[in-house]
Amino acid sequence: MTLTTPALLFPAISLLLLAYTNRFLVLAQLIRRLKQMEREKDYTIIARQIGMLRKRIMLTKRMQAFGVLSFFVCTLSMFALFLGWQLMGVLCFGASLILLSLSLLFSLYEIVISTNAINVELEDFEQRHRAD
């Protein structure tokens, strides 16, 4: 394995971390909006949303942590390969791929929860239109 192999992950991991940051910002906006809506909505829907938001925040934190760790270990892999430590470089690269995979799995689970949250909003919307 050469130094360029782990270097190929740098743009991918960087873009992934940017996407995770955007997900976090969306969560922050949703929480602020939910707080403003507290006066207008049914508290049962708000309670359901809060539970999902807490899970999503925890998952986003884990996604980001594993993504950053993957980036760091990938850097260690490149450094080890630079020093000529082939086995250490390969092991670090493998660990980086595992950490990146864990980050992606947490991201997938967060997407499932976010779609459930959207369904809660749609249920509320449908109930309001049935009442009219």
Residue 77, pLDDT above cutoff 90: yes
Terminal Cα distance for the chain, rounded: 66
CA geometry: angle 98, 15, 58, nearest 5 deg: 60
Residue 113 has pLDDT above 70, yes or no: yes
Look-up: residue for tokens 């092991």? 91
Decide if pLDDT at 90 tops 70: yes
Each residue's pLDDT tens digit, 16-58? 888 888 888 887 787 777 766 665 666 777 777 788 888 989 9
| CB neighbour class for 84 (10 Å; exposed up to 12, middle 13-18, buried from 19) | exposed
What is the average pLDDT across 5-21? 82
* pLDDT on residue 40: 60
At 8 the three-state DSSP class reads: coil
Name the residue with higher pLDDT: 119 or 65: 65
